[in-house]
Every structure is written in C-alpha cells, then in structure tokens.
Amino acid sequence: MRKAFFTALVGALLALPSAFAHCPLCTVGAAVAAGGAAWLGINTIVIGLFIGAFAASMGWWISKAIKRKFIPFQTPLLVAFSFATTVWPMLPLLSDARPWYISIAGDYGSWLNRTYVLNLFVIGGLIGVALVSITPWLSAKITKLRHGKMLPFQGMGLTFLLLFAIGTILQFTV
C-alpha cells in the first residue's frame, strides 16, 4: 500500500507542468535557513551572499515568467525588488555593522578622512546578486571556448561553484 501511494505521489508531482514558488514563504524559509547558519557560526557576510543570490535568482525567475515587457529596465527592477523584499526584512535579525576607516591625508577630523559603517549582511547580499547576475555571461563564454559544447548543468554548477568559492574565502577572511 505504501509503495503504491509513494509511486502515485511521485507520478503526480512529475506530471505537474511547472512549480511556482510563493515569495513570502521563500523569504521565511530563507530567514530560517539563515538563522540556522548564524547559529552554526557562519559569518553574516556569507549568509548575505547566499540570501542575495537567492533573491537575485527569484528576481530573474520572475522576470522570465513575465512574457511581456511593461516598463523599461523591467528585469533589473524586478531583481532589485526581489532583493529589497528578501534582504530588508532580515536586516533586524542578521545585521552586522563594522567600521571602515579611510585615511587619505591629515588628521582624523579632516574632510579627507572618514569612517564609514558597513553592513556585512547587505554587502554579502550585493555580492550574491552580482555573482548570480554574471553567471549566465560566464557560462556563455565557457560554451564559446568549448566551441558550442555545454557541460551538463553548466550554469547551475558554475553558480554553485562561484558561491561556494567566494563564500569560503569570505568565511575565513572577514
């Protein structure tokens, strides 16, 4: 009986034409995952990297789902909107502000020297958006270098490889 139920369930899921995500639900899920990562000791810049990549992926996905162009710069605006509605609600939970002092010349009080406050979660999120946004271009360049041949799951693998590499570097340097 269990085997028949499981087979029917898998068959029904495979028969669906596509899956649609619910953005607030995804945001809550990402927040729970980010909270778990923070509890495990992952730096907030790395959490921001993956949350920003998730937000950019959702923005790109939504822009491709909309078949007509209604406004100029529709895709970048949708990616920015997805980033804002995913990252900003998490700021009270995952904010990590650090000072960054820039000394060009003179004393601390001079107009050339300033201390800026950087939020590492937001910076990581912006890096994640940039990585997800340049991956299709990199994938196309790799395909061109390989004379039109693509590796299996090339775009997804490249995205995960870049996120993992940059996340590892950020985890151990920041």
pLDDT in tens, 110-123: 777 888 889 999 99
pLDDT in tens, 99-111: 888 877 767 767 7
CA distance 144 to 138: 10
For residue 155, what pLDDT is reported? 86
Q: The pTM is what? A: 0.76
Residues 50 and 163 sit within 8 Å (Cβ to Cβ): yes
- For 147, the enclosing helix (H) or strand (E) is none
- 11/9: higher pLDDT: 11
The 8-class DSSP code of residue 88 comes to G
CA distance 125 to 45: 8
Q: Does residue 19 register a pLDDT over 60?
A: no
CA distance 81 to 59: 7
Rg over CA atoms, the chain: 20
